[in-house]
A and B are shown apart, each in its own frame.
Chain A
Amino acid sequence: MAEETKIVMLDMDVEGISSLSVYEKHGGYAALKKVLGEMTPDEVTAEVKKSGLRGKGGAGFPAGVKWGFIPKDKGEKYLCVNADESEPGTFKDQAILEKMPHRMLEGAIIAGYAFGATHIFIYIRGEFWKEINIVQRVVDEAYEAGYLGKGILGSDYSVECTVHPGAGAYICGEETSLLESLEGRRAEPKMKPPFPAIEGLYDKPTIINNVETLATVPAIIERGADWHLSLGTEKSPGIKMFSVSGHVNKPGVYEIELGVNQLDFIETICGGVKGGRLKATIPGGSSVPVMPAANCDCPLSFEGLQDAGSMLGSAGFMVFNEHTDMVKVIEVISRFYAHESCGKCTVCREGTHWINMIINRILRGEGAMDDLVTLQDAADGMEMKSFCPLGDAAAWPVQSFLKHFRHEFIDYIEGRKKLVPKYEPVGAIGHHKLVKPAY
């Protein structure tokens, strides 16, 4: 039987835990005190490296290894907390920002100490206005208590902190785009190398970490790397927060040990499938390949999902019951990527729009069998060929839907189904209309 393992979410339901005094009463900032009192920066990095903590924003890069890339010389270095959570199906960082912001901030200060950050920027998506205000209050409290600013808790370490709002752009979750946006430019991704750890914000060494990754750090410091390694699987140590939505009886955010069986997770923790039998899941946010029910009996871990044909991604876990129209679902997903493509590189700018237009044509009953070939070509033409991972993220769902639910496309093409759109979407006031019908 699957069960929750609350580490980042520990005490999240305690009344007032977002305030400093309550957080401290529940052991808050003990890890930071330990780090500043007993550990050198290199020891902190080594401990996190040893713990096997992998980034929880989507890519899964080992956090300690990333911190180790920062050059040792003195000077300005930056930590950017990536709180631009915009991946469809993902709402775990929102829970941390709203209910447990001090744990994220404590983790950020520890990370900053480990690689010598002089300034922490917390980049929060603009739609999270409530959370921006909460985090700003939390930062103010931390300054007042001496956890931020000059000579933190009497040590030699000093760091400043700024809460920065985004303004509605999925691409800002991509790290170089986030930095561009933070520098006051259109958020278009930059060529790597140089990697941000060498030349990042204002051309200075910069680390970009996800909210949940940083919020895991205090527990690793307090309980040790070996404890973290004892959780999860060999290749996916530790825990992960899953944002569960779609056709389940108990949607919400659940933190579990990596490696829990997916079907067990749906049944026991998510309360089972709502409205019928399981048809498919998208386990890691809209960017990862869809999994038909037949493939879902697998562990929820980096390697378990990869072996089963999908990815852990951001763990934005979406469940579809047997009555779901999968062609409509991929239309919604493809519209999202067409809307969010920044337009910098041709394959993504053109590919995402053509894919959405063709799927719309099929839905309206005007598709042809050739369209499936064109869709496949367009997706293959974006995968690993666009400037940043948004192109891959737009290609994988299309490829996987074509592979697993081809018959549903054919139902539309052969006239057994037809869908009249309920409206023409317009995504922003006064902007150019982004998704146009193909005919």
Chain B
Amino acid sequence: MALTFSKIPGELLEKFNALEEKGKYPKRKSMLVPALHIAQEHFGWISDEAVAAVAEFLELSPNYVKGDASFYTMFFMDKPGKHVIQVCHNVSCYLEGAEDIVAHLERKLGIKCGGTTPDGKFSLVTVECLGACGRGPVVQINNREYHEYMTIEKIDSLLESLE
């Protein structure tokens, strides 16, 4: 009998199935991190619904899935703003002025690190080495695109470009 998935929205299930086909993983549990990435993209964060969907697809307990997700910094365990601004402030970026960029963002957005603006548009976090040390300071948006050689001016125009 084919498995039926009651907690996985159809569109998400299609992506999970595509992952299973493409990944050719010898054991299904190996799909946990990739599936969490897909679920986070669908739900915006690792919500209870996201945990339930991944747990059901991989036949794991929700506690196990949440325990794994919380190990990795790229998984948002709270609902973040629409644009998560991730500023690297490790050694090389620090030398190029990353701390001033974080301080500027805190002032400009009126939030502290780890916070979200009241309109839900921006969240701000500091991250550790993004592996672009020769092109610092580096800012990443939503775990995806890198913005390199950042300055206060470039941060301001980046913020304006984010809808």
Contact = CB atoms under 8 A, between A and B. Distances in A.
Q: Do chains A and B stick together as partners? A: yes
A194 interface: no
Contact of B45 (A243, A332, A430): A430
Interface residues of A, number: 67
Majority-rule SS of A interface residues: loop
Given A429-B84, A430-B77, A127 B95 contact: no
Contacts, number: 193
A336 B90 CA distance: 7
A169 interface: yes
Interface in B104-129: 106, 112-114, 123, 125-129
A94 B72 contact: no
Contacts of A127: 74, 130-131, 140, 143
Contacts of A336: 90-91, 128-129
Interface of B: 23-27, 29-34, 36-37, 45, 58, 60, 67-68, 70-80, 84, 89-92, 94-95, 99-100, 102-103, 106, 112-114, 123, 125-136, 140, 143-146
A336 B19 CA distance: 33
Given A129-B143, A166-B33, A286-B91, 14 more contacts: A88-B129, A126-B33, A127-B74, A127-B130, A160-B24, A164-B30, A187-B71, A245-B136, A318-B95, A329-B94, A332-B90, A340-B128, A425-B102, A425-B126
A86 interface: yes
A433 B114 contact: yes
Contacts of A87: 129
A162 B23 contact: yes
A156 B65 CA distance: 40
Nearest to A167: B72
27 contacts: A86-B128, A88-B133, A89-B133, A164-B34, A166-B72, A167-B33, A167-B36, A167-B74, A168-B74, A169-B72, A183-B27, A183-B30, A184-B27, A184-B32, A185-B68, A187-B72, A286-B129, A329-B94, A424-B113, A425-B113, A426-B112, A426-B113, A426-B114, A426-B126, A428-B76, A429-B125, A431-B73
Interface string A331-364: 0110010011010000000000000000000000
